[in-house]
Amino acid sequence: MKTNKFLILLLTVLAFTSCKDNKAQNQATEETHEVAETETTASTSSADVSGSYITEDYTKRGEGYDWVAVLVNQTSDNDINVKVRSRADKKKPTCTFDTKAYKKSDGVYYANVSGKTVLFTFKDNKLNITTENKADEAALYFYCSGGATFAGDYSKLDGDLDTSQIDKTAYAKILMLQDIGFNISAVKKGGETELTVNAFGLNENHGNPQVTTFKGDVVDAQVEDLDSDGSPELVVFTDHNGKGNVVAFSTLKKNSMIPVYFPPVSENSKISEGYNGGDEFSLIETTLGQKFPVGGKTRQVSYKLKNGEAGKAFEVTNISEY
């Protein structure tokens, strides 16, 4: 009898322990699964922040109030195009600014503006614009008149902006390097874009301003001394129906400004084979880079600025695929 009681007691303890261990194991598995789901959700979260973001005075525009809007276009998971525009029907625009911003973290993008880092933070249909360092806030006053700045808070607009009031400037940017500045502006005329580049700081001011027209839109503009001669070049990236192009200008010994020739893709069969747009351009030190998708791969083209008989031109230095 004592033996039977001992066996029954032993079996009861083993059953209880097994049940408890299984319960703990299942609970741990569920917790691990929940953590994994949370991590996956966080890592793949990439909300589209495209839209128009407005200041509070936009709702009072019928009463004559001035207002500023930020137009955001998400071009990929990792970058956005930002346009700051304001009311322009009754007076000159308060703020005009364009930049490309790159993803820093979920809902936060950054851009380099006059050597300062500017942050664009999106949350709950709100946008906040500020400099990463508070001491750099003065950099954002440069693009507005009357002591204004485009830093601050904006709310996402449900609908379209009032096109009868907004500034019609298609693109605007100011860049400086080596004591030479470029005031870049573009407007739409007759279905084309008219690009005007005013250089300031030139010794003799020859060839200034430069005006050119093309089909498509300005995507971005960058400045660099591409041939390391102590006088900078301006490179403007454009897009027409998904196909990119380059419009560039060089300053000669800081005296004058001339156009720079960029060879179209169609001129080089090694580049054009399988080409169907989707270009991305960038300046990496003194090299102009172009890349685009081709047959499941990416084709990358490198260009260097060279002196030619008729002026300066970009020449292909390398073509690769990966």
Residue at 272 is within a domain: yes
Higher-confidence residue of 44 and 250: namely 250
Query: In the predicted model, what is the mean pLDDT of residues 53-57?
Result: 97
- Specify the pTM: 0.78
Higher-confidence residue of 25 and 274: namely 274
pLDDT of residue 201: 96
> Do 60 and 189 lie in a common domain?
no
Under the banding of pLDDT at 50, 70 and 90, the label for residue 135 is very high
> Do 134 and 73 lie in a common domain?
yes
Query: In the predicted model, what is the mean pLDDT of residues 25-29?
Result: 39
> Do 185 and 283 lie in a common domain?
yes
Under the banding of pLDDT at 50, 70 and 90, the label for residue 7 is very low
The domain boundary residue, chosen from 156, 184, 210: 156
pLDDT of residue 309: 79
Query: In the predicted model, what is the mean pLDDT of residues 202-212?
Result: 95
Count of structural domains within the chain: 2
pLDDT of residue 249: 98
Residue at 138 is within a domain: yes
Amino acid letter at 202? L
Rg (CA), the chain: 28
Whichever domain contains 106, its CATH number is: 2.40.128
pLDDT of residue 6: 39
> Do 142 and 206 lie in a common domain?
no
pLDDT of residue 32: 34
> Do 75 and 149 lie in a common domain?
yes
pLDDT of residue 1: 44
Under the banding of pLDDT at 50, 70 and 90, the label for residue 114 is confident
Query: In the predicted model, what is the mean pLDDT of residues 211-231?
Result: 96
- Identify whether 263 is preceded by a cis peptide bond (ω within 30 of 0): no
Distance between CA atoms of residues 288 and 234, nearest Å: 12
Is 3 a residue whose pLDDT tops 80? no
pLDDT of residue 283: 96
Distance between CA atoms of residues 214 and 218, nearest Å: 10
> Do 150 and 211 lie in a common domain?
no
> Do 194 and 77 lie in a common domain?
no
Structural domain range at position 73: 51-156
> Do 308 and 188 lie in a common domain?
yes
Residue at 150 is within a domain: yes
List, for residues 290-305, the tens digit of each pLDDT value: 999 999 999 999 999 9
Least confident span in 27-31, 69-73, 255-259, 261-265: 27-31
> Do 142 and 236 lie in a common domain?
no
> Do 197 and 280 lie in a common domain?
yes
> Do 150 and 193 lie in a common domain?
no
Average pLDDT along the chain: 87
Number of CB atoms found within 10 A of residue 104's CB: 15
Residue at 164 is within a domain: no
Residue at 18 is within a domain: no
Distance between CA atoms of residues 201 and 277, nearest Å: 37
Residue at 19 is within a domain: no
Distance between CA atoms of residues 4 and 52, nearest Å: 81
